[in-house]
């Protein structure tokens, strides 16, 4: 399945490749893990299965729970990424490459795969989700 899931993190729009995402759920019931060290900071029980969660949310309003991107399993199992808000699931052509001659931004974190533009012309960081979580090198 191709396309992207777009989400807000720290006030900035990001996109992850849809093939990396198993599902999206509200971040209700994410329990902090006592003594846990970053990057895994919480646990979500999803249909009886414990899912470790990396919380990427900005300091948010306590009433705003955010969303969790549940990533597809790899050799380490499934993983959840808590983000401020999932905004859309979009097709592969809904984010377009930067225009020819446009300078590529420099100094971006290694988890940023590329910068594309949305339908309104705004830049969107396309990210490697497990690298964003800090679990694999970018």
> What domain range is 89 assigned to?
4-132
Cα 36 from Cα 29, distance rounded (Å): 17
Question: What CATH number has the domain bearing residue 19?
Answer: 2.40.50.180
Domain count, the chain: 1
- On whether residue 15 sits in a domain, the answer given is yes
Q: What is the full per-residue pLDDT of the chain (138 aa) written as tens digits?
A: 689 999 998 888 999 999 999 999 998 888 888 887 767 778 999 999 999 998 877 665 555 678 989 998 888 789 999 899 999 999 999 999 887 777 777 888 889 999 999 999 999 999 999 998 876 655
Q: What is the pTM of this model?
A: 0.84
Structural contact between residues 123 and 115, judged by C-beta atoms closer than 8 angstroms: yes
């Amino acid at each position: 399945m191709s396309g992207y899931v777009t989400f807000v993190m720290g006030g900035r729009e990001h996109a992850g490749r849809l093939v990396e995402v198993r599902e999206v759920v509200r971040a209700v019931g994410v329990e902090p893990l006592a003594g846990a060290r970053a990057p895994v900071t919480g646990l979500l029980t999803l249909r009886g299965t414990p899912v470790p969660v990396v919380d990427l949310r900005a300091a948010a309003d306590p009433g705003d729970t955010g969303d969790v991107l549940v990533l597809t399993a790899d050799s380490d199992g499934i993983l959840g990424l808590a983000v401020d808000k999932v905004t859309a699931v979009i097709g592969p052509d809904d984010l377009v490459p930067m225009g020819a001659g446009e300078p590529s931004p420099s100094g971006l974190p290694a988890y940023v795969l590329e910068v594309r533009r949305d339908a309104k012309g705004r830049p969107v960081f396309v990210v490697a989700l497990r690298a964003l979580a800090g679990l694999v090198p970018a």
